[in-house]
Chain A
Amino acid sequence: MYGIVNKAIEDLVKSNFGEEKWENVKKRSGIDIDYFISSEPYDDTITYLLAGAVSDEMNMPLKDVLQAFGEWWVLKTGKEKYGGLMEAGGENLKEFLINLPVFHNRIMLMYPKLTPPEFKISDIKENSVHVHYFSKRQGLKEFVRGLLYGLGKMYKTPVTIELIACRESGNKHEVFVVSW
């Protein structure tokens, strides 16, 4: 993953728990990197180790850590750094979600070293859509759930999210129903 992801985890921990906790997380994860460069690709293992260390250090289940990180990614990292792009994503949550596949496909081209997930949208209804999440990475579906919650908050639209299919249960990808 690009450094911006690890940097976001760092910001999340530092902003909510302080510098000292971040040092503890790094020590616990065994990662000796002082500074993550946003545009530099890092091994995925680093991100997983950091997430695991946050979970251990904060005594939080990993899925909660990933979900919190998903929300943080949208509301802090996305809005602060790519606020314009996020805003241009759509007039409302529904429009943004419908545009999401195109959005990610553009990103894939811009970041040649990235293996971005792919999204598809189906079952578009007045108050809900199905978000299909395809990824080569395992164990990040809770991060996606956090992203979707974060988007709901960004558009000030309370959402409910239901995972109706996932790889663990034999499906080829995850399917979330996002309702508002």
Chain B
Amino acid sequence: MSSNCFSFKKDQFNRLFPFYILVNNRFAIESCGISLQKLAKSNINQSFSTCFKITRPEMDVVDFESIKATHGQLITLQLQSGHKTILRGQFEFLDDTNQLLFVGSPWFYSMEQVNESNLKLSDFANHDPLIDLLHILKTQEIVNADLKQLVATINSQKNTLKNNEEKYRNIIENMNLGLLEVDVNENITYANHSFCEMSGYTIKELEGKRASEIFATGESTKVLQEKTKNREKGIADAYEIEVIDKQGNGKWWLISGAPRYNDKGDLVGSIGIHLDITEQKQLERELIEAKVQAEHLAKTKEAFLANMSHEIRTPMNAIMGMSRQLAKTDLLPQQKFYLDVIHSASDNLLVIINDILDLSKVEAGKLSFESIGFESNSIAERVIRVLAHKAEEKGLKLQNSYFDTRIAPVLIGDPYRLNQVLFNLIGNSIKFTEKGFVDLSLELIEDNEFSQLIKIKVKDTGIGMDEDFVKNLFEKFSQENESITRKYGGTGLGMSICKNLVELMGGEIRAESIKGKGTTIILKIEFKKGNYTDVPEENIVQFNSNFLQGRKILITDDNELNRLVASIILQNYGAQIVEAFNGQQAIEVLKKQHFDVILMDIQMPVMNGIEATKALRQSKCNVPIIALTAAAIKGERQKCISAGMSDYITKPFKEEVLLKIIDKLLKNNNVEARHLKNEESKEELLFDLTELEDISRGNKDFILKMLNIFCEQTPLILHEMLDAYKQGQYEKMGAMAHKMKPSIDNLKIMPLKQIIRDIELLGRENKHSAQLPIMLQQTESILQEVFVQLKKYKS
């Protein structure tokens, strides 16, 4: 091979140009490439024009010379046989041999065409890019198919999104909750239909307006401003707010608000879901009022019971006291019989009164229980001893057939209430048994380290009860039928009270009964184990008939009978008696005379016992004062002691109880009484000045100044706080509580320590709570009491 000339062997040339055509000067095909032969067989020596047609460039005459003239041009040929394949290439004139050489390759549009033409990849020269081009075209097709599929997927997702968006838009539009969107400047950007209905505005009236300017008033403006600040901090929350609608009507909305961000995460405003809770708020207010009313009714009921108790006990006191005094005189047998009947009837009446009171105490949760040691065997003994005569009267055998010796000798609990239950149960058994026996048995069921579970059974051979009635035995006012009521009397409250008492002692009670055969009541109560040191000592005092000799006692009671009973009892022991009809009169008498003891009724006209006692104690009177009250309800004793009384006795009272109290007070003398008074008043003080004393290092002037400031300013703050509550301005209410808190802490007004903090918290959260009115009521009443106490302290 020289620098101007190449020479190839035929097979080399075929590998390089498998589709070549060599044309001689007769315009006949002299030879052609190996791959071309697959497309057009037996072309050799045939005229070029017979086998091929030149499709590009356009030529008028196709012959050797005209083709020679195409030198340098792109030529396309078409085979005239087979698949009429197009070849793409160029002609070169070979000077040495006077021949035309076509070098090129077939032009296909797809690999399928290649295959149809019976060609394989190996039929193409490696430098021929046709196959690569076809591959790229194929890939292009695949990519196009991919894109179509991708577009279809995107369209499908777009439709789904659109449908979802429409669905949610419909939900938002039609939901009963108002939806409001505002921008960062609080300007409304969107409101749904419900919100427009709630607020009374159209969307056009709302758009671009500031929500707080349209809806808020007073305090709620601040609330909305605060919420905007919260949203800026990314805080979402829910709150209640009072607003006004377009018509100027006051409304309450519950709003759940959240910040709103754009795609980049920048805050663009907030969104709020609004629920109109005006009706609920109204209902809530009504409920609170109803609750206050119910509490008021409960108080009224309590007062009614106290009055009833007083009204009944006062004459009872006279009847029982006077009959006891009468029994001390010489009586004819007939008179003694009448007196016994009076005794018995009044005892029964007292039981009924006590039953009614007990029941109401249980209902009011005001029944208190002792936790003292008592001798277990004394329980059975006492009840048998007291009721034996009743059983005997009916010819019944009353027995304690079994007392488990494993029962601890001393148990801890309320022996009085247990007695009350057993008296009631055995009393019932005696009442409803005509012949046979009434049996009491006590059995140990569980012996624990510190306690014992005792089973107490009261069994009788009485009239029994129907199965149906047994189920309702422990219901209130439950008696089997009217004839039973007529025949045996009673209120039908006894078993209900027993059940309540047993359950309040942590026990259980049930009944088994067969009509005509008898009844068994079974109690199971757990008592703590105790020892003899746990048993309170009982002072059995025998009073000499002259132990009040030389003592002067003032009896203050508006009821003549009561004064008479007390006078006769005390005069029998040598006391000199002066009577007063009310508190005012007692104070007048006390100004002129000295007394050793004062008996003071509580409910009296002109001035009651509490007021009178307070006045006496303020005037430095140290004479022991014994409250004589007919109101046997919880809290009464505390009220008396707080007023400065030395002790307390319930009418109708037993002679020995009255004498014992007088004896105790006289022995303790006035110093003791004074001490008692001081102790009681100290216990009752609602404030404690130690903190202030510490701060002032004992500077009394400073303390007084502080107290004066407290007494002057706190009522104003209290008033403002209550007023804010009434206006629904909870935040202001909370702020007032916050203002009051340091003073309450400094004066150590412990009952208010937590309450004032709770009010402050509710206010800060701008929340209402059902407890709020109660807490405010407590704050007011405790503070009023503190003001009174401070006034006394300062004087």
Contact of A84 among B114, B126, B146 (CB under 8 A): B114
Q: Could you give, for residues 76-110 of chain A, a 1 whenever the CB lies within 8 Å of some chain B CB and a 0 otherwise?
A: 00000111110111110001000100110011011
Stretch at the interface among B129-137, B286-294, B367-375, B492-500: B129-137
In the assembled complex, the Cα of A85 lies from the Cα of B124 at a distance in Å of: 13
Contact with A along B698-734 (1 / 0, CB 8 A): 0000000000000000000000000000000000000
Query: Digit string of A146-158 for contact with B (CB within 8 Å is 1, else 0)?
Result: 0000000000000
The CA-CA distance from A39 to B150 in the complex, in Å, is 13
A-contacting residues, B19-68, CB 8 Å:
none
Q: A84–B112 contact, CB under 8 A? A: yes
On whether the beta carbons of B135 and A99 are closer than 8 Å, the reply is no
Q: A88 contacts which of B119, B126, B139, B153 (Cβ < 8 Å)?
A: B119
> Residues of B within 8 Å of A, CB-based: how many?
23
Those of B93-134 within 8 Å (CB) of chain A: 110-112, 114-115, 119-122, 126, 131-132, 134
Minimum distance in angstroms from B127 CB to a CB of chain A: 11
- Residues from 46 to 80 in A contacting B, C-beta threshold 8 Å: none
Interface residues of B in 138-194 (CB under 8 A from A): 138-139, 142-143, 146, 149-150, 153
Q: Quick one: which of A81, A88, A109 contacts B115, CB cutoff 8 A? A: A88
Q: Which residue in chain A gives the minimum CB-CB distance to B149?
A: A35
Which of A35, A38, A102 touches B121 (beta carbons < 8 Å)? Answer: A102
CB distance from B110 to the nearest CB of A (A): 6
CA distance A103 to B120 in the complex (A): 12
Is A34 engaged at the interface, CB distance under 8 Å to the other chain?
A: yes
**Residue of chain B at shortest CB distance from A84:** B111
In the complex, A4 has a CB within 8 A of chain B: yes
Q: How far is the CA of A1 from the CA of B146 in the complex (A)?
A: 17
Interface of A is mostly: helix
Interface of B is mostly: helix
Bound together, the chains give a CA A83 to CA B149 distance in angstroms of: 20
- Whether B138 contacts A103 by the Cβ 8 Å rule is no
- The answer to whether B143 and A38 have CB atoms under 8 Å apart is yes
CA–CA, A3 and B145, complex, Å: 14
State whether B131 touches A34 (Cβ < 8 A): no
A124 at the interface (CB under 8 A from B): no
Neighbouring A residues of B132 by C-beta, 8 Å: 106, 109-110
Given A35-B150, A90-B120, A82-B143 contact (CB < 8 Å): no
A84-B112, A99-B121 known; A37 vs B150 contact (CB < 8 Å): yes
For the complex formed, measure the closest distance between the CB of A35 and the CB atoms of chain B, giving whole angstroms: 6
Q: Are B146 and A39 within 8 A (Cβ)?
A: yes
Given contacts A38-B143, A84-B115, contact A106 B120 (CB under 8 A): no
CB<8 Å pairs between A and B, sample of 13: A3-B146, A38-B142, A39-B146, A82-B135, A83-B111, A83-B112, A84-B134, A84-B138, A85-B131, A87-B111, A89-B120, A103-B121, A110-B139
> Which residues does A use to contact B, with CB under 8 Å?
3-4, 34-35, 37-39, 81-85, 87-91, 95, 99, 102-103, 106-107, 109-110
8 closest residue pairs by CB, A with B: A84-B111, A84-B112, A39-B143, A85-B111, A88-B121, A87-B115, A38-B146, A38-B142
